[in-house]
Every structure is written in structure tokens, then in C-alpha cells.
Structure 1
Amino acid sequence: MDQAGAGEATAVAAAVCVTGAGGFIASWLVERLLARGDYAVHGTVRDPSDPKNDHLRTLDGAGERLRLFKADVLDYASVASAVAGCAGVFHVASPCPAAKSTNPEVELLAPAVAGTLNVLRACREAGVRRVVVVSSVRAIFINPNPPEGPTMDEHCWSDEEYCRATESWYCLSKTLAEREAWAYAEKTGLDVVTVCPPLVFGPLLQPTVNTSSLFLIRYLKCDGVDAMDDGVRNMVDVRDVADALMLAYKSPEAAGRYICSAHARKVSEMVSVVRSLHPNLNYPNEFVQLVGDEKVFSSEKLQRLGWKFRMLEETMKDSVESYMSAGILS
């Protein structure tokens, strides 16, 4: 276990644990928690000495209130060590392979479900007050018989058999993991809240590029590709997701699932915003309109907690400037 900062400072702040602390969403959540000044953060990472986690140590307050734990969600003992002494836990870690999985049962489904159950069991044993689980809208909309109308809310669930039939393995992993979380909460009485974001963009804190960011980057580095699809995509800023997770944890009235989606726009609209700021990137020559019902996710329930989100233009601008600073775009 690595300890960033001496232990005495953490004794005066409420401790919370963030699993997968070095990831895209989790890094911003750690930043938000430390910025408040009244939280000590236990962050789980696979290897605290790995340079890819160094960005966490540079965050304001990290020297006094951040401890990095070597932990794997499939290893219960390591999870329990990180969760011990925490009032709250944010379970953000989730397997998400960059390429198509060759063994989804091993690479995605088992880790997602077993990892979530390990975290929840450790939380119950440690007397954690509330667990906030990051799920996904992919646990909501993959269904051959969706509800009437374009808008989907927290009552909607992806169909597990349909996910298997269409080989939507990541969607299935998020669906199974969230279902298991709710089953465990009902059985034990553990206070669980889930947050379901769509595509997540925004500036990078971590040195690696996450899957959602890669989705946007491929439209900005086409390298001679003539046409790309122009479907409607639901998206949200990573900083707004971090704020939503904080709200889900701090609000006494928070309960159940929360969709965390800000905008539903065609890809061409997103790209047009970036083009107005950076006209010389390698954009697609044209977009091909996709045919089909486009779903929009309602975040009304989350907004009733006081959640607010950024304008699309701010998210696109900050995302691209971050990619340029990291040398991903030029």
C-alpha cells in the first residue's frame, strides 16, 4: 500500500473510497473530493508505483488526504483493506476492453459482477453508510422492445438475453453488475445508489485515453476517411459526472438509479463545434445519416437533486484542448 501523505491528516477528515481511482471519471471524482477539503480519499489502483497514477499525487490536497491502495476488485481482502474505515464508497472501477473481447465471460462479465459484489460485501462488513455505483445507460437501452417515445428513464433496463444475442458484452456486463448490486442491497439493507452516464467527454487528468474520449478522437483524426456515421449520441462532461456522484453520495434523499446525461446530439453537430474552433483537424468529408429510433435519456430525476451540467460547447472545447496538450491531436 502506498500512502500519499502522513496518516494523521486523514484522521480529521471523513474517509471515502474510490475504486479504480486512476481512471477517467474516478480521477475527476478524486479531484472533487480532495478539493472540498473535508474528505480523505482511499483510492484503489492496481499498482500505486505505476507512473500512470502519478497525476493523482499532484492533485491539491493529495499530499495530506489521499492514500493509494494496491487492490484488485476480484481480490476481496485487498478491497476490504481499502474500504476499512470509510464512511462512503464510490465503486467506479469496471472492465472496459479497448478492442472486441475474445472471452467476454472471463474478461468482462465475471469481473464486473464478482468485482461489484466484493466491493459491496466489503462495504457491508465495514459499516459503510452509502455506496455509489457507477453503472451506464448501456444498462438501460439495449432492448428489442423499448418503451414508446424517444425518451428513456430510470425504469428502463437492457434485456440480458438480447445483449447476449447481439454480443453486446459491455452492455451486458454493466446490466448484470447493476442488477446484482440491487439484489445485494435488497437482501442486506446496504444503502446503494447507482449513476448511469452515457458517453463521457471532457479534459483528461490521467495520461491514458479512455474509451469515450477515443470515440470523439476518431472523428477528429480521420486520416482520409471519406464518410462516417452520424447517429445521435447522448453525452455528458466528466466533471459533471463527478458532481453527480458527489450529489448521489451527499444528498440524504438520494435513492435508486440516476441517469446522468446532458446532451443528445448528432455526431456532426459535435464535430461542427470543434471545427469552428480548430478548422485544420482531419474531419470526415461527410457524415452518413443512420436510420432508426434515436433514444434520449432523461436526467430529470438527477436534476431534482440539484444537478447542473455544462453547455456542449464548453465540453467540446475543453476536451479538444486537453487532447492537444497531451499530444493526441495536433
Structure 2
Amino acid sequence: MSPYLSFFLMPKYKMNKVFFWFSLLTLIHGVKNTEIKCIVGTTVTLPSGLNTFSNPSSIKWTINVDNSKKYIIFFSDSETIPGSYDPLRDRVSLNTTTGDLEIRSVKLTDSDTYAVEIENKEAKRHSSEVILSVYERLPEPNIAVTNGTYKHELCRMSLLCSVRSGDVKFNWSSEPLPYGCYLEPLQNSTATTSSHTTSELTAWCNPDRTVDITCTVRNNMSSNTSTTATKCPLKQKCKDIDECRTPPCSFFTPFIVGVITSTFLCALIYALKGKIHNFWNKHVVPCGGFAKYSSSENSSDQASSDSHPTKPLKSDSNCPDSKTKNAVAL
């Protein structure tokens, strides 16, 4: 037999019972649980969930303390009355239109289950529960640089970020190379103790600059950051060429210094070439030296140079032993 047909064929008293429970469910709406999360010190609103009727005539917010119902706030006959639950007495306010409850300066001890009952003049009722979970704000993390060495022309540093909290996620950031760092988080580097959570990182940074590295911690409710300025320590004497950033310990250094010095001396001589040539012709050649005829001299002299390739120099009274010495032709 069809269930619909059996409904109409059932006895009258059974039909009355079904209509009774159906009417009761339309007047009293089932309890709806809502979960709210917030941070210590903030303001939170607990929703009543009322959406089936308006203009409530009475509103009651309660909390269960030691298996005893404590009234937080009560609204009836257009009057709002504070409840008997002292921890929230001066920190709550009620929206008499929607039935929502506002709690200011939330504390960790406010975490609990709150219940609301609403009724209007037509005897329609609504009830629901709100689970409030309050969390501490994440503290600022601490960054420590454990060591710093020169390697592969970069500064290799190890950093440790720690925070006084559990169940957090870490994120490292900095300006990228060539001016900043390449960040390499270690695998399985996050560790949690009874009071702290830590994350370890290897950073390859520009060795000649101070670089800011930031550690950010985050959970489901809040986040916080800390930044440290990092710079490699002063470089010590070179012990291992592969570990050195610059090549002062290699054999190329004396060669490079010699090339630079020779280049400088050549440039200096080239710049003073004219002065040296004039000095030679004025002071050295007249005093016993010989000079070739220039192309500007008389062509007859040039022709005679085939038999006499050089010209004897005249003596000069300013030259030493000029009275006793004559120029000797080469």
C-alpha cells in the first residue's frame, strides 16, 4: 500500500498526533549551532540566527556554568536587563531587532557555548547556540643568525626563527640576488617543543651589502613578522682558496700587480717622450754625441751624406773638455 494512501486511511487520533507535532515544529525552530573564532582583545558579535520572524518580544542569552544556566542579558517588554553572569556584565550589548549579542574586549576565558532563545507576540519561538573560541594573538617571532661564512663568491648564513606558540606556519622573504639573498629553507626544518616552534633557513647573500631578511609566522587566526639586518662577518686570512670570496691568496696577484705597474711606467715614458728627446739633443748630442740629419735639412747636405753618413759636432764651451776634445765621427 502506498504511504500516502495509508496516511489518509489512518485512525483519527493518530492524525491528530501527527498534526500536533507538525504544528510544534513550525512554532519552535530547531537549535542551530554556529562556531565563532576571534582574537583576544577584539570585539565579536554572536549571531542569533533569527531569520524566520521579526520584532521579537523577548530575547534571552545564557551560558552554562557548572551545569547551571546563567543569564547574560535579557530583553522583555522593550526593556533590556543585565544578567547575573558578572564576567560579561559590562562588556556586552544586545541588538533588540536581530537578537545578536556583542562582546567587547574578548578574553580567553570567554571561550564557551552561548545559547539564545527568542519569542515574538505570535508565540513563535527561535533558539540557537553559538560556540565561541578565543585565541591569543601570535607574538613577534625572534630571528637569530647562527653563523656566516664566505663560499662560492657569496655569503652563506644560517638563520633560526622561533615563536612562542604551536601549530604555526613560517614564511621567509628578502630582496633577491644580486642585491639580496637566495633563501633555501631546510627540509623538515620546522620543529615544535612544549613552548616554541622554530624554523631553520640557509641564505646565500650578497657579501658586500647589508640585507634585510623577514620571518613571518601565521596560524588560522593571526600573523606576525620580524625582520633582521644581516651582513657577513669580516673576512679572516685565507686558508682554503675554495672558501675565499676574493683571490688574494692565489698566484695571480703578483702577476696582476706587475702588469699594472709596467703599464703605468710605459704610459709615463710615452707622455715624457718629447721632453726626453729635447733634453738629449740639447745637452747630450752637442757634448760628444751624434745625431742624424733631419729631413728638413738642405738637400745638398743630404746628398753628401752618402759619403759622410754622420756630421761631426761642433765643440761647445759649455761642454766639459770642449777645448781638448773634438767630435768623433761614427
Short-chain TM bin: under 0.3
More strand by share: 2
Relative to the length of structure 1, the TM-score reads 0.20
Relative to the length of structure 2, the TM-score reads 0.20
Q: Which has the larger radius of gyration?
A: 2
Q: State the structure with bigger RCO (CA 8 A, min sep 6), 1 or 2.
A: 1
